[in-house]
Structure 1
């Protein structure tokens, strides 16, 4: 950490322009203490690593984190300089009264306090949750950013999705209605935002990047909201390519979900490549489900809906409970939510998928949370016919329908 207290309780920062020899002299004359736990800390003045205050090895203080990377340090300084141009009260590693945490950058805008937290590596979810909620409970709006070095791009709009990304995404959902993940790019003095990530594989997502150059904008909350100017044609083109991969891929070693659904398909005289077009919708809110979309959507159609007669009522709650039973059996996989129960975390993605089925005429919602099936399940084992059906469903599933499930806050 860069800041400690002296023997009089006054804040001491290593960012001041003092030489190593001067710090060595000060270190011999007085002791330093952690602002959080009040334990004595050591002033480290090494020649290779950044100067810092360090707890003793047996300390349990939450402020005794490992030495920050250079990227983390530069990111804090970049945010500090950016915010200082527009706001009077901006601090790095501020000691906030009654708060057992020190935000990377703390500032006030009008009557609202904000804390920027920069995360370069994975963190224990319980610790992450505790920090986030502590800020909220103290009327401080937390804003979490990853470091650009952790942003792993696979193509223009396809990215690796890590456990850290999942934590960052969840905080955006609790801060604002829309979904976005932010990364700070120190070299280009910008924040890169991935908007509306759509799951493609357990660790891959489609997302549209947006670059916010800090020297062009003052801080506003809306800067961290995904733009509604998304590129529908790009989404369609990428999804078509991904669907083609699923239809043509060779399965050499089956996962638990693939093995299970392969048996289901075989009972309908199909295989894993010949899922119906109704079982492959891009659902942004389904990021909570690690299992690839064609598998869990096919389960809904073939294992759940097939048990109901035409026009027989079924409920969203029963659908979720039966899916969670498969999760408990390790057939399907969902990401653990920080702020919701497993049942709650599936309400929106399943609601969105049922809306898609309703939009193309397969289902009808008769009451809130209650649906009936209007059509028989269509089965096809001819790839050319399936591709034609894919295009037909795509034409019905319009930009407006996709926008509705993207931009609604809740169901």
Structure 2
């Protein structure tokens, strides 16, 4: 059997059995290499090579964590949480509860969207902003699976559609560059329109989650939830403006250098120069940021090792060839097969950004030979890469929501984040991506 299918299936099975994702990825990587006939020393060497490639990701997450801790110390996230809670009275009516709940979900969605495009802190804001809101969510009996779906939508859809921040990296620096590097004559003006229909698929999944799937109330205990942010001293107007200045510096540097590390460093520099963070506190700041993002960083490093082993097996090419050769005369079936393969690859390595270089070399020549238009090829490759980002145990788009919603130990990563986001986003995205490939 194909080593890619074996490895991804095993990784998902182990994760569903609640085995730690790092362990699941490591075991699955070894099985992938051995099942492909590679000697064990070669498998280990490939895995360790991949681990080295994840070092940049790990440092980037550590810097993001430090920036997020500095941002929380400025009080701006507590101020935002307090602004939401203050809309409630001592005995809120059902109408008040509905509107505050809606406002809270909208605020979380807006923050998730901005974290990808306008304020490139990625998932680092979640473990800072979400825990202060858990008590309020518990009082509302709000199903946290819905919150996970809202956050994941905001983390994935913006970079699929909007060429700003992480979206610029995904759409232009990675997707467009790899498409043209493999023989497609595409321009930046075609990318956003081509990805619009897949983005609508994500939107339909969000609406299903909000309007149908998680309308029922769910009980949670508040015994282990931190006290309400109303009991914490709120930041002054000066502190809020300085925090916004740090955010602006982070955005500007990140956009100019395409470096999360340098962007986060710029924000931290503003915090220290303005006195919001003292010089002697920078060690503590980085240490706490590392603790905040350590598990996510390790999972992403392990995912890099897994991806390197999968590539070393050579079975990605075999899988694509075996699926597509049966559909060479049928564009609709070929498009569906390519999307399914993209889903398998991204579910395994957990990164849509890393999936594009793997599949573009195989998909672009095939799309050209089958007569797909340039726009259809963009939509097909972009969707195939994005598939699996929502719903992968190793994806930061699922790890981020869990890091905030499980602050009190009542939100399971697999069953409360991974499974709901997989169902609500991968299935509509698969359908929308297929339509885009056929219609464009």
Give the TM-score category using the shorter length: under 0.3
- The structure with the largest helix share of the pair is 2
Higher relative contact order (CA 8 A, sep 6+): 2
- The structure number with the bigger radius of gyration is 1
Output the TM-score relative to the length of structure 2. 0.25
Output the TM-score relative to the length of structure 1. 0.27
- The structure with the largest strand share of the pair is 1
